[in-house]
Structures are given as structure tokens and as C-alpha cells.
Chain A
Amino acid sequence: GAVVSQHPSRVICKSGTSVKIECRSLDFQATTMFWYRQFPKQSLMLMATSNEGSKATYEQGVEKDKFLINHASLTLSTLTVTSAHPEDSSFYICSAPLAGADTQYFGPGTRLTVL
């Protein structure tokens, strides 16, 4: 099946620093990717839609200047958490739909801990 990877799988950073998370579709091209955030014992919350070659679309309540998304190629989307604070600590997951399939494939997730 289609594979989506994320890097890093785990990151710990100091408050005030920026962290970049990569999402790659390994064996298919994805003009659209999605970013989710998941807090402990909660469901996934859609943050934004990443569009190759154009600006990302953010869900209501998600700060676009805080969570920078860049979809530079058909296989790579990046999420940068700028000036991270402890409340940004969460599990970040990306997904990508596979053309011709009525489903999406999810990455393994990135655990961000902000000290």
C-alpha cells in the first residue's frame, strides 16, 4: 500500500524555538496533504490543508503565522511550529490522499515536546 513518512518521529525543543516537521509521500505524488494535531486521549483535529504550489488553507482557530506550511513538491509538505511554547506540545500527524483511491494514508506521527 501507499506509504507516508514523517520526520522526525520525536522532537524535544526549548520554548521560543522553531521546529520543522516533514511529511513525505514515498511511492506516490500528493498535490494535497493534511496536517492534524492530537492531544493525549483526544481525537485528531484537522489543522490545515497543504496545497502543492499554493498557500495552505487553515481551519478556523489555527494561527497561520504560528504553523507555517510549505508544500514545495508533489511528495513533500513541511509544518513549521514557530516560537513553540509548552502548549504546542502534541502529536502531529499528516495524511495524503492517493489518486484513484477513496481513502487517505497517514504518516506515523511526530511527537513534539516543548520544554
Chain B
Amino acid sequence: LAKTTQPISMDSYEGQEVNITCSHNNIATNDYITWYQQFPSQGPRFIIQGYKTKVTNEVASLFIPADRKSSTLSLPRVSLSDTAVYYCLVGEVYNQGGKLIFGQGTELSVKP
């Protein structure tokens, strides 16, 4: 399972775009990159997943360079309710038995 490295914390203001970068130098060929969001005293919530290039959904965008050794979660126009911890995970959901190993995550604080 590839190890991930993220900034421990980030600050932003309402309405700004926030980009959180995750390093995963040892990513394997079959690994996907998945981001989860967690609010205090709640279980993590799936945000977005990708394999390469760019993925966009109604919540965020995920940018993955060609070498796939890093990825960037982009949150457009954040609001106070986006204050949470964001986790980047790398792995195969099924071929590794579905194990997800969480790193430290990035604590995002959005200020008014």
C-alpha cells in the first residue's frame, strides 16, 4: 500500500479556491487515488476518485499528473462548512482486500 504525504493543515477564506496536494511516490500501476472528507465525530465521506489526468464532480476536482506520484484536490469557492479533515488514500479497493490505510490528513480551516 502506497504511503501518502499531505500538509498537516491549511487555512483559507470563504469564496477562495483551495488546492490540497498529496504525494504518493510509490503508487502502483493498479492503484486508484481517493479523497475523503471527515467532519468531527463523523465517519469519512467519499469526495472524489481518479486514476489519471483530471476528474471533476459536483463537489471537487482531482488533478493527477502523468507520473501519478502526486495528486491535487481542488475545492472551488470554499465555504465555512468545508472546514474538515481531508484524507488522500492510494490503493486498490478490492485486490488488496479493500484495506484503506489512512495517513495524517489535512485539516482545512475556512475562515469568514
**Chain A residues near B (Cβ < 8 Å):** 4, 6, 32, 34, 36, 43-46, 49, 57, 91, 93, 95, 97, 101-109, 111
Contact = CB atoms under 8 A, between A and B. Distances in A.
Nearest to A41: B107
Contacts of B42: 108-109
A32 B96 CA distance: 12
A107 B43 contact: yes
Interface residues on chain B, size class = 20 to 34
Given A32-B97, A49-B98, A109 B49 contact: no
Contact of B43 (A32, A49, A57, A108): A108
Nearest to B103: A43
B8 to A, nearest CB: 11
Interface of B: 32, 34, 36, 41-46, 49, 87, 93-94, 97-105
Given A102-B32, A102-B93, A43 B87 contact: yes
Contacts of A108: 42-43
A103 B90 CA distance: 11
A54 B105 CA distance: 33
B87 A103 contact: no
A104 B93 contact: yes
Nearest to B85: A43
Nearest to B91: A102
